[in-house]
Structure 1
Amino acid sequence: MQERILKFDKITDMFSFVPYLYPRSKSVKEVLFSSLAAGILVYLFLIIFQPFGTESFHHPYKYIVLFPYTLIFGSAFFISSLFVSQFKDWNIGYELMKILVILLLGSIFSYFYNTLCISHVKLSFENYGYMFLYSLAIGIPISTIYILSRYIYLKNIPENTALDVAPQPISNCEAPKEKVLKILGNNIELEVTEENFLYAQSMENYCNVYFLEDGKIKKLLIRISLSNILKQVETHSIKKCHRSYIINLEKVKDLKGNAQGYKLILPEIDFEIPVSRSFISSIIPQLQQSKR
């Protein structure tokens, strides 16, 4: 039994990267460039390695006949990328699903092109099955190269931009004021700076709000729902991480666990705050980025 549990943990660890945020192209130009690159990679794979009988295919214009596969997979990539551009919180799992859809569309169009224009054989589900397997065999290595290279390229864009901007000297300027959070509920008003807010915990119809005051932890019980508190205090660093908790990510000093269950550790408190699976993709990558 213990061996099965260990094997299961290893499997889940293998897929623990799936909920991590994945950068998307932010313009049609980037989508078009990525689509063209993906299509060209498919074409190069076909003419260099000549898999699945391509080597024995003889035609005076062989490489021209193979070129439409570039347009087929490039178009499938372009259509899928434009469709998913409207979604938020894109992660690696969604990107892998998008790639699978691209391969499915590409295999369908490739099958009709091959059957009607090259092979001139009868249409059948069996032949399409072979084409789908061929598309997977070609698409998996190309997709791996694409995902890794695009991830590295798009992740480095903001970092390189930040390095290119020279810091401007500050003179005769007041220090930026700390953001003050106001929590209103049941005739109680609490004002606390974003820096001093620790976390809020739901207690049925009430919430305990924990914050720092003069370096000491204070707690205030307010008759209010956690969702109403979130509307009043949510910022880039203050997020909901569990159905019962809102936390200031800037105060988190350590985290432990994996995709099956993360725990956040604050030095000011003596217990660990859980992270629900539905919040992993929005909480954990931000924490890992801030710890670099």
Structure 2
Amino acid sequence: MPFHPLKFKDAFSLLYAEKNRASFILFSGIYCFCFLYIFSPHNMSTWYEADYLGPAWVLLIFSLSAVAGLVLSRFILAKVFKDQNLTNSQYFLWFLGEVLLITATVNTSNVLMHNYLSFSFHEYLDTLRYTFLLLLQTYAIGLMWFYTREKSQELENLENTFKDAPKKANMLALTDEQDKPVISIDPENLVMIKAEDNYVQVYFIIGVDLKKELIRNSIKKLEPQIARHGFARIHRSYIVNYSKVVLFKKNSRGYHICLEGLDKMEIPVSASYLPAFSKIVSLTP
């Protein structure tokens, strides 16, 4: 499977599902407490040895305060600001805002528990330093696990596709730049191919899920391989499955189509390919 570099304009989807959010919050709370209590950075456990609650309870309250901030961010603010539409770069800014929010919840708990502390900008900044370093670890580990699980599921789906390939006589093999097969798929499940620099992004359907696979090849080289299966070029960067076209429209920016499974993506039809596309559309019952 080719390496797909992180693109800041891509949609961030690892925490879309509510069960992923809940799992991440639970992991964050447990990780924060264990890290603070067991590893005791900056000898933090000794800070509260004389405290009437004891270091374990104080650090547990800090961890629960962080969990409260994450619940507020992940389940309440996320719905208000519709974070499902965030890109990777926008989510990084969301993370920074989340750090500020969690710092506020932890700082509030700390001041309320200890009468020798007071609400001040200096106290907030001191808490911010520790909160940022701890959340950076939590996010790195948690999101890496979600990312690995997602890619493992995609790999399993692709393996299942290969297993089913011999059963179908009309399977379409997509190759890389060295003509080595990368994906074998039923043409009916292939939605679109999009050019991306030295790669092509292949959009296909498995069951009811839309998947993507990055292949190192050119769209020009793949076009002859799939043309006879009901695919055609509509733009220098797009080859689409005509049977998946659900909408064809014109607006101030030109002609666009929408494809089944890609409802939120408007795909341009360039002027040079418009006559051939219009002819095929007009022949469709």
Shorter-chain TM-score range: 0.5 to 0.7
Task: Specify whether residues 141 and 26 from structure 1 end up closer, same or farther in structure 2 by C-alpha distance, changes over 3 A only.
Answer: closer
Counterpart position of 2:9: 19
Counterpart position of 2:29: 39
The Cα shift of 1:119 comes to 5.3
Alignment of 1:195 onto 2:231: yes
The percentage of counterpart residues that share the same residue type is 13
Which protein, 1 or 2, shows the higher relative CO under an 8 Å CA cutoff with sep ≥ 6? 1
Q: Give matches, 1:52-67, under 5 Å.
A: 52=42, 54-57=44-47, 58=49, 59=51, 61-67=54-60
Aligned counterpart for 1:102 among listed residues 74, 88, 98? 98
Aligned counterpart for 1:167 among listed residues 164, 169, 173? 164
Alignment of 1:72 onto 2:108: no
Counterpart position of 2:78: 84
The Cα shift of 1:45 comes to 1.8
SS in 2 for 1:198: strand
Counterpart of 1:79 in structure 2: which amino acid? L
Task: Specify whether residues 154 and 95 from structure 1 end up closer, same or farther in structure 2 by C-alpha distance, changes over 3 A only.
Answer: farther
Counterpart position of 1:149: 145
- Structure 1: gaps (5+ residues): 1-14, 180-192, 202-209, 212-223, 248-292
124-133 vs 137-146, greater mean Cα deviation: 137-146
The Cα shift of 1:236 comes to 6.0
Counterpart of 2:131 in structure 1: which amino acid? S
8 Å CA contact retained: 1:43, 1:66: yes
* Distance in 1 between residues matched to 2:168 and 2:123, nearest whole Å: 69
Counterpart of 1:135 in structure 2: which amino acid? T
The Cα shift of 1:225 comes to 4.7
8 Å CA contact retained: 2:111, 2:119: yes
Which runs of at least 4 in structure 1 moved beyond 4 Å after TM superposition? 161-166, 168-171, 175-179, 224-228, 233-241
TM-score by length of 2: 0.54
8 Å CA contact retained: 1:20, 1:92: yes
Counterpart of 1:19 in structure 2: which amino acid? K
The Cα shift of 1:125 comes to 1.3
SS in 2 for 1:120: coil
TM-score by length of 1: 0.53
Aligned counterpart for 1:123 among listed residues 119, 133, 139? 119
**Number of residue pairs matched?**
196
* Distance in 2 between residues matched to 1:90 and 1:149, nearest whole Å: 20
How large is the Cα RMSD of the aligned pairs?
Answer: 4.2
* Distance in 1 between residues matched to 2:231 and 2:160, nearest whole Å: 29
Counterpart position of 1:287: none
Task: Specify whether residues 23 and 237 from structure 1 end up closer, same or farther in structure 2 by C-alpha distance, changes over 3 A only.
Answer: closer
